Amino acid sequence: MRGMTSRSVHPGPAIAALLIICASPVAASYAGDRPLQMVFTESLRGNAQFTLGDGGYSGTLNPGDGYVTSFTRDLPQSATVLFERVYVYWTWSRIDQAASYPTMEARLGDAGGPVLEQAARYADSKGFASKNDYFSGMDSYLPIGPHGDRVTVMVSNTADDGSTFIVQGAALFTVYKDESAPESAIWVAEGADLLYRSYGIPPELATTRVDFPGRIDLPRVKSARLLLVAPSAGFAREEIPEMNQILLNTPGSGTLPPLVEPVLRVLFPHYRGKTWTDVFSADESRQIGIASREIRPFLRYSDNFIEVRDNGDYFQLCNAVLRVEYGEEK
């Protein structure tokens, strides 16, 4: 199989525990200082499926409160799951007016269902003493399978100290192998990087970068789909032009020598990269910004990367998925 070298990153118990500890910020800010972590890469015949749950914005969850959401899991009968996560996006985690990390539990089904193992917790905050400086983040859970085409998860506030938090939404993400599917390369990155062009943070600093390492068999690429998930993105309460951006393979940010890039931009116009503005869509009931773009014309043979920038929108980038689909060899 050509293209990206096959490599999977499946956190074991020890690595998962390390992710939970290390992903929590020591010092945070509205700048892009919490880059997403690459947790899965693979070359395979298969696909990926991302589904938002039917639960909306929860409002404040007090101790003992629960949040229920369901997902439709529509996989081919011949599919073999390689990587699967339940993502819970949370915000405003606090005890009264003091920031605190949420004490939550996720179960499959209802309150009597099996507890899901937490794979990782990612969190960020504005990082300076001011009003409403609470933690926001994403918890990643390992589903218990097999669990059919309809998956229901209950998230509960299990705190005994009076702390509260809000669930903005949840998602089910699955990468599966299917020998009848096209040859593909898939990258999966996750985390929580809070971005806001405010409080002295310019847009250039309110920017986070995601790298997609490895080589791509560019002549054989049929399509390349980028998926980004960012709670609160696209939900600004004010009309702000170009309030968020995706920059793909923009010159000056790569690994090539400075004198080489101008030559390549002249010889290959697409090497200049691409910038999209106002890319995220969200609604009031489910404040999870989603951006999906076909990026095939702007790919490079290697060292592909994106930068996600805030320009007054205010959001937290949590997921980045790239799937490159190849045509059949002739």
Q: What pLDDT score was predicted for residue 15? A: 45
Domain ranges of the chain: 13-326
Instruction: Give the alpha-carbon dihedral of 191, 122, 29, 136, to 10 degrees.
Output: 110
Q: What pLDDT score was predicted for residue 215? A: 96
Q: What pLDDT score was predicted for residue 2? A: 41
CATH number of 13-326: 2.60.120.1200
In angstroms, how far apart are the furthest CA atoms of the chain?
Answer: 64
The distance from CA 288 to its chain's CA centroid, rounded to whole angstroms, is: 11
DSSP calls for 243-311: -EEEEES-TTSSSS-TTHHHHHHHH-GGGG-EEEES--B--SSS-EEEEEEE-GGG--SEEEEEEEEES
C-beta of residue 1 within 8 angstroms of C-beta of residue 213: no
3-state helix, strand, coil in the chain (%, to 5): 10, 50, 45
Dist. CA 179–CA 77, nearest whole Å: 11
Instruction: Give the alpha-carbon dihedral of 274, 194, 291, 179, to 10 degrees.
Output: 100
Gyration radius from the chain CA atoms: 20
Q: Are strands 98-99 and 80-95 parallel, antiparallel or unpaired?
A: antiparallel
Task: State the pTM of this model.
Answer: 0.86
Q: Which two tokens stand for residue 205?
A: 């600093």
Q: What pLDDT score was predicted for residue 86? A: 97
Tell me the three state secondary structure of residue 10: coil
C-beta of residue 227 within 8 angstroms of C-beta of residue 210: no
Q: What is the mean pLDDT of each run of 10 residues along the chain (330 residues)?
A: 46 46 55 96 97 94 97 92 97 92 95 96 81 89 82 97 96 96 98 94 96 96 98 80 93 60 56 88 83 96 96 96 90
